[in-house]
Amino acid sequence: MNFVLDFFVDKDTHPFDIGEMRLLFASTLYFYEKLQSHKSPTWRIAREFVYDNGVTGVHFTLRYNKPEKFDLTVGKYTFSGLCLEMDLPKASFFGYEAMRVVATVMKSLNLLAACSSHMPDVPEPPQRYSYDKLVTLWQRANEQEVAEELAKRDNLYYADRNKLLYWWRYTSELRKLQTSMQKMEIEVPEIKLCYFKKSGQAVTVCDWPGTVRTVLPVVDYVLVERRSRGNPRSQSRGGSKISTRIPATRKMELGMVRFKDIMWVLKGFSRRVEDPLPYILYSRTYAPSTMRQKLQELKLINPTRFEPLTPDDVIDVKPGAPRET
């Protein structure tokens, strides 16, 4: 199922101008234009304006064809030839980001919208929806689709809504945060979405290699790099009973650690920052011995138990769950 919005204009006062729309999209990030053929007679050759945010993974399509091909009028409003199509189901941040763009388009081009996702045979009167109302419409359609899609697909993974919203906000701010920390030589890792086989759910993960100075976002697991403990061995001299202790060969090892365990390691050596969003800042130029010792005590989880996911693979609504307002 797709979430569909049909856009209308007041036929007496405001004719739709595709040139004006092109100028708007030219100044908006992540849009590109293409021609696309379709099976439907009215959409056989359509012009598509595709929003594709490669940072957050949010994507949707605004499709346009000449309005005279449709001859669709509702009251004093006529169909502009423009409609929105968005695949469902998705995580909530898809709706928050997409509807923010749609609200801007509607206001800039003086458009009204009718949501045909719910009543395809009985068009509702076009309205000047606010951003909040657009999000509500999208959420309603998205939640209706979750149960059906989960029954058909085995590659959709659930995660808590607040967790995914944090991932979205952090990912959106990542480049700015990296730039601000660059002069201080503080690493700012990305947050990755992963499937944790043990829990059967989507989790968030970030890297912390070699206890370097870093920003640690609030995640489920942290990938750490540490030196193995190693075991010293003895070597005899010329058959005598005198032996020499040879230092152990210490190799680097990688493993996942729970975020709360990393907070135990960093206690007293880090501080929490709230702006532009919560994260932990570790800014020491060296790792204190007590911290290194704590890190050695942690049990590492094999990274192969985590599989990478894309934003299209996750949802934050459970089937039958009441909608959050």
CATH of the domain at 46: 3.30.310
Residues 168 and 144 in one domain: no
Residues 169 and 57 in one domain: no
For residue 77, tell me if it sits in a domain.
yes
Cα distance between residue 53 and residue 77, in whole Å: 32
Closest CA to 98 of 112, 115, 85: 85
Cα distance between residue 152 and residue 57, in whole Å: 23
| Domain end marker among 127, 152, 177 | 152
Residues 17 and 100 in one domain: yes
For residue 82, tell me if it sits in a domain.
yes
Residues 85 and 147 in one domain: yes
Query: Quick count: other Cβ atoms within 10 Å of Cβ 119?
Result: 10
By the 8 A CB rule, do 245 and 234 touch?
A: yes
| Domain end marker among 98, 123, 152 | 152
Residues 131 and 222 in one domain: no
Residue owning tokens 């598509």: 48
- pLDDT of the residue at 186: 92
- pLDDT of the residue at 103: 96
Q: pLDDT tens per residue, the chain (325 residues)?
A: 789 999 999 877 767 788 888 888 887 789 988 877 666 655 556 788 999 999 999 999 998 887 666 677 788 888 888 999 999 999 999 999 999 999 999 999 999 999 876 444 445 789 999 999 999 999 999 988 887 777 677 788 999 999 999 999 999 999 999 999 998 999 999 999 999 998 889 999 999 876 788 999 999 999 998 877 655 455 555 555 554 554 455 688 899 999 999 999 988 889 999 988 999 999 887 777 888 888 889 999 999 999 999 999 999 987 655 444 3
Residues 144 and 166 in one domain: no
Supply the DSSP string of 6-61, one letter for each residue.
EEEEETTT----HHHHHHHHHTSTTEEEEEEE-SSGGGSEEEEEEEE-TTT--EEE
Residues 11 and 148 in one domain: yes
Query: Quick count: other Cβ atoms within 10 Å of Cβ 71?
Result: 9
Closest CA to 105 of 7, 4, 33, 10: 7
- pLDDT of the residue at 11: 77
- pLDDT of the residue at 66: 76
| Domain end marker among 152, 184, 214 | 152
Residues 283 and 307 in one domain: yes
- pLDDT of the residue at 278: 93
For residue 271, tell me if it sits in a domain.
yes
For residue 243, tell me if it sits in a domain.
no
- pLDDT of the residue at 24: 85
Residues 8 and 44 in one domain: yes
By the 8 A CB rule, do 84 and 7 touch?
A: yes
Q: Which residues contact 207 (CB under 8 A, 6 or more apart)?
A: 189, 222, 223
Amino acid at 89: P
The domain tally of the chain equals 2
As given in the structure block, the two tokens for residue 22 are 């092109």
Instruction: For residue 227, give the 3-state DSSP assignment.
Output: strand
For residue 94, tell me if it sits in a domain.
yes
Residues 299 and 194 in one domain: yes
Cα distance between residue 224 and residue 272, in whole Å: 20
Query: Quick count: other Cβ atoms within 10 Å of Cβ 49?
Result: 22
Residues 165 and 306 in one domain: yes
Residues 169 and 215 in one domain: yes
Phi and psi at 137, nearest 5°, equal -60, -45
Cα distance between residue 81 and residue 18, in whole Å: 10
- Is cis: bond before 89, omega within 30 of 0? yes
- pLDDT of the residue at 316: 93
For residue 17, tell me if it sits in a domain.
yes
**Is this structure's pTM higher than 0.95?**
no
- pLDDT of the residue at 115: 85
- pLDDT of the residue at 325: 37
Query: 285 lies in which domain range?
Result: 161-230+249-312
